[in-house]
Amino acid sequence: MTSSVTYNGALRTTCTHLKSGSSFETDAPTDNNGKGERFSPTDLLATSLGTCMLTVMGIKARTMEFDLDGIRIDVLKIMKADPRRVGGIELTFNIPDELGGIDEKTKVILKNTGINCPVMKSIHPDIEVKIDWGKWAID
């Protein structure tokens, strides 16, 4: 097993990673009867895309003998109604200056690695994903 999720009442859960014992709590969002004081389940869905992209890109960069320290992705989750679901995810890459000038071939390799991560491959095609690559955008 990977994890354990316990319902704590008041629309909150505790999620525990079984191998490491690390945990975090979730809360329902304010627009769905919660307090919005923690990640909601749909926040985690959207955020997992960013973490997966950066993880596989970091692995690829490591094989190319450099690192991606300092790259940040800002994540925007867009909800739809009827049925209530995640309808879109917008990712905005924030590239540190020292990584902004890497060669185009390396940028393409890293971007292709990111967009082919396991979470991206698992997202339903009805969820629209938009990526702003920031300094790595192709002009």
pLDDT of residue 31: 93
Q: pLDDT of the chain along its 139 residues, tens only?
A: 999 999 999 999 999 999 999 999 999 999 999 999 999 999 999 999 999 999 999 999 999 999 999 999 999 999 999 999 999 999 999 999 998 889 999 999 999 999 999 999 999 999 999 999 999 987 5
Residues 49 and 10 grouped into a single domain: no
Residues 62 and 15 grouped into a single domain: no
Residues 62 and 116 grouped into a single domain: yes
What is the domain count for the chain? 2
CA distances from 100 to 52, 61, 111, 132 (A): 21, 14, 13, 14
Domain, as residue range, for 76: 41-136
pLDDT of residue 102: 92
Instruction: Give CA 132 to chain center in angstroms.
Output: 14
In whole angstroms, give the CA distance from residue 68 to residue 99: 7
Residues 131 and 81 grouped into a single domain: yes
- Locate 84 and state its tokens: 């209530």
Q: Is 23 strand, coil or helix?
A: strand
Q: pTM for the whole thing?
A: 0.94
